[in-house]
Amino acid sequence: MARLVKVGAAQLGPIQRADSRSSVVERMLVLMQKAHVQDCNLVVFPELALTTFFPRWYFEDTAEADTWFESSMPSVETQPLFGAAKRYGMGFHLGYAEKVEEQGAVHRYNTAILVDPSGTIVGKYRKVHLPGHAQFDPKRKFQHLEKRYFEVGNLGFRVWRMLGGIMGMCICNDRRWPETFRVMGLQGVEMVVLGYNTPTTNSQSDEPPQLRAFHNRLSMQAGAYQNSSWVVGVAKAGREDGHELMGGSAIVAPTGEIVAEAHTLEDELVVATCDLDKCAFGKQSVFNFAAHRRIEHYGLITQQTGAVLPE
Amino acid sequence: MARLVKVGAAQLGPIQRADSRSSVVERMLVLMQKAHVQDCNLVVFPELALTTFFPRWYFEDTAEADTWFESSMPSVETQPLFGAAKRYGMGFHLGYAEKVEEQGAVHRYNTAILVDPSGTIVGKYRKVHLPGHAQFDPKRKFQHLEKRYFEVGNLGFRVWRMLGGIMGMCICNDRRWPETFRVMGLQGVEMVVLGYNTPTTNSQSDEPPQLRAFHNRLSMQAGAYQNSSWVVGVAKAGREDGHELMGGSAIVAPTGEIVAEAHTLEDELVVATCDLDKCAFGKQSVFNFAAHRRIEHYGLITQQTGAVLPE
């Protein structure tokens, strides 16, 4: 008996700094409608899906960046997404900048949520691996100030039962870290959904765009294969106010094979039917963790943050 | 100032059960001579390089398998390899089955050594991730009895300074586990050398050979990229007594790109000049561990061996 989840990876083309949230939500609703026509059970939107990728902009006073944050979810602007989910009986995943008051202080996170087919938020993730830097860096070709605007996520890498399977989330740079997928793999994850805003060029080097596209695929494929899980990675793509973001939204099978991939840098729905039962073979053979992992030799992974060179 | 190591990945074609160690060492000496002519600094031989891949054979009494083990290294048969290393001023890496008496008991390991250009053993590694099974399994198309003949390695994933860089080792199935590379990455590894004997088909499924070849590359490329290290993976390839082993020996750059790859299933020397300084960019940017890793969220990796599913 197959456990089928039909997924729509809802890539978004560029969002300019001047674009309103409502105009973006309109585009997202078009993608949800397309997904509904194709009988999708789940739509996956990118990281920070409601606005331009604002961490490229430097603000002396970080509070000036608050205009890019959501202080409630759903909000007036995003409520239609939840309405569409309920109307279509279709879950969705959404990334956004979260401003929240917790324990008497204001916190800002790069956040994603998992919404079930009734339109209810069932899971929240806050980005752990924040790339970039916290201070203006004149040596870079462009700024990548995630460490300035966001705190490190405090929710860890959890999983949730939804759509008959075990779902996990991560965000953008998290996908490059095998720890991300392994922590979810150790909870039996069967589908990891993630969004990204990844510049086409490196701010500090002349890495060619195709090498960076390869790293995107390599990270998601390795995470899928090594945990025998589906991985759905969704880009915000194209040219935002002169800054290029890569595309390459992809649905990756538990074998590490890409089964569907975006071919534009625009709003595009990439659809695949994912059989969660396909996770079982890898989890029971090569990646039967209980049979093969040897945690007594992994100590450094959790004991030590940075590299320590031998004498 | 570049730190160049010219590496010869010395793939071996099949070794039949009837082949003597001396005949294999003769073939290895030919590859070392070829490497010397090309000014290599290091030659990397496969896992269990001196014999056929014997864990495919079942022996009721495991002591009957002792014929495949080395009880000294160098031995009479392997001494010529050490002599050649010294003569050529060239290091090498060799995998073999090790039988050793330690703490009053006999132990058997799937072992690899690192030998420096003076012909001295400077490092030893014992395979941690033993694949396969310990008992005869009639449901499999062929046996893979590593868990029967070997104990889990007890030396961890160490690194050694050699040839001006930081070298690490692992063996075959270890390469599929990101923990392997990460533990060495946390010690600043700049080149991981490894050998493998990987069946072309899966003993429990109909996985196509090209998918298994993809997994070989994917694992090595992810390990290289995610730790910004060179990876040199070397196969024993071809048809051993009717059992097919994959080839695909490869030298992988710290970017994850394959810079040289075998194109036969026979004895073949794959050569590339590896600049260890190319590791620095990744280690200082995307994979600057000190800046980006968040060990407070990695706990399950070392707390828990097997997967534990959510309620």
Binary contact (B185, A289; C-beta < 8 A): no
Query: B100: which strand partners?
Result: B107
The three-class DSSP label of residue A111 is strand
> Around Cβ A23, how many Cβ atoms within 10 Å?
12
Sheet holding B230-235, edge to edge: B159-162, B165-171, B191-196, B230-235, B250-252, B258-261
Q: What is the pLDDT of residue A205?
A: 87
Q: Residue B102 domain-assigned?
A: yes
Confirm whether pTM is higher than 0.90.
Answer: yes
Q: Tell me the one-letter amino acid at A200.
A: T
Give exposure, A205-219, as e/b (b: 16+ Cβ within 10 Å): eebeeeebebbbbbb
Q: Residue B93 domain-assigned?
A: yes
Distance of CA B137 to the CA centre of its chain: 26
Residues of B involved in catalysis: 47, 127, 172
CA atoms within 13 Å, Cβ hemisphere of A88: 26
CB B227 within 8 A of CB B175: no
Q: Is residue A53 part of a domain?
A: yes
Instruction: Look up the domain containing B298 and give its range.
Output: 4-303
In a domain, B138, yes or no: yes
Task: Count up the domains in chain B and report the number.
Answer: 1
Nearest CA distance, A253 vs chain B (angstrom): 12
pLDDT of residue A19: 98
Q: What is the helix (H) or strand (E) element at residue A181, kind and residue range?
A: helix A178-185
The CATH number of whichever domain residue B198 belongs to comes to 3.60.110.10
Render each residue's pLDDT in chain B as its tens digit; 311 residues: 579 999 999 999 999 999 999 999 999 999 999 999 999 999 999 999 999 999 999 999 888 899 999 999 999 999 999 999 999 999 999 999 999 999 999 999 999 999 999 999 999 999 999 999 999 999 999 999 999 999 999 999 999 999 999 999 999 999 999 999 999 999 999 999 999 999 999 888 889 999 999 999 999 999 999 999 999 999 999 999 999 999 999 999 999 999 999 999 999 999 999 999 999 999 999 999 999 999 999 999 999 999 999 98
* Residue B42 forms part of a structural domain: yes
Residues whose CB falls within 8 Å of the CB of residue A210, separated by 6 or more in sequence, listed in order: none
CA distance B88 to B32: 9
Closest to B121 in 3D by CA, of B154, B152, B146, B98: B98
Tell me the pLDDT of chain A averaged across its residues: 97
Q: What angle do CA B137, B142, B148 make, to 5 degrees?
A: 55
CA distance B56 to chain A (A): 17
Among A98, A99, A146, A172, the active-site one is: A172
Q: Give the list of residues 6+ apart from residue B37 with CB closer than 8 angstroms, or none.
A: none
Inter-chain CB proximity B211 and A161 less than 8 Å: no
B308 inside domain: no
pLDDT reported for residue B63: 83
Chain A residues within 8 A of B174 when measuring between CB atoms:
none
Does any domain span residue A311?
Answer: no
For residue A45 the two structure tokens come to 């939107």
Query: With contacts defined as CB-CB under 8 Å, which chain A residues touch B166?
Result: 309-310
Alpha carbon of A308 to those of A246, A305, B162, B290, B301: distances in Å?
A: 34, 9, 17, 10, 20
The SS3 call for residue A70 is strand
Count chain A–chain B contacts defined by CB atoms under 8 A.
201
Alpha-carbon separation of residue B223 from A16, A237, A240, B235, B257 (angstroms): 36, 27, 33, 17, 11
Among this protein's residues, is A127 annotated catalytic? yes
For residue B309, being part of any structural domain is answered with no
Euclidean distance between CA atoms B256 and B229, whole angstroms: 8
* CB-based contact A191:A108 (threshold 8 Å): no
Contacts of B186 in chain A (CB under 8 A): 300-301, 304, 306-308
Judge: B302–A305 Cβ closer than 8 Å, yes or no: no
- What is the reported pLDDT for A204? 86
Rounded to the nearest angstrom, the minimum Cα separation between A197 and chain B is 15
Residue B241 to residue B132: CA distance in whole angstroms: 19
* The pLDDT of residue B2: 77
Give the residues of chain A that fall short of pLDDT 50. Answer: none
Hey, how many other C-beta atoms are within 10 angstroms of the C-beta on B309?
12
Per the listing, tokens 């429990």 go with B204
Token pair recorded at residue A298:
């992994």
Contacts of A173 in chain B (CB under 8 A): 286, 292
Cα–Cα distance, A12 to A239 (Å, whole number): 11
Answer whether B130 sits within 8 Å of A292, measured CB to CB: yes
Q: What tokens does B175 get?
A: 């390469």
